[in-house]
């Protein structure tokens, strides 16, 4: 019976591991999206600063 118990425990562990990997992958996707959003916002802020600096030079 020990072999069956070991096999069952191994399968159980594999299923739990797969679930954790799937949850981590989803978390990575969310972080990736947030990073893209932050990058876009940063580019807009940089552009605003550059425009303001150019306007000051023209004055």
Is the pLDDT at 9 greater than 70? The verdict is yes
Between the two ends of the chain, the Cα-to-Cα distance in Å is 87
**pLDDT for res 1:** 66
- In this structure, the chain runs to a length of 59
What dihedral angle (degrees, nearest 10) is formed by the CA atoms of 21, 24, 30, 33?
A: -70
pLDDT value, residue 53: 93
- Give, in order, the Cα–Cα distances in Å from 58 to each of 36, 48, 53: 33, 15, 9
Question: pLDDT per residue over 17-52, tens digit each?
Answer: 999 999 999 999 999 999 999 999 999 999 999 999
Q: pLDDT confidence of 56, banded at 50, 70, 90?
A: confident
When pLDDT is averaged across residues 54-58 and rounded to a whole number, the result is 88
What pLDDT score does 59 carry? 78
């Amino acid at each position: 019976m020990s072999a069956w118990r070991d096999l069952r425990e191994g399968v159980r562990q594999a299923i739990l591991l797969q679930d954790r990997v799937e949850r981590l992958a989803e978390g990575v996707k969310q972080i990736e999206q947030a990073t893209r959003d932050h990058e876009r916002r940063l580019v807009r802020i940089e552009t605003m600063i550059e425009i303001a600096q150019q306007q000051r030079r023209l004055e």
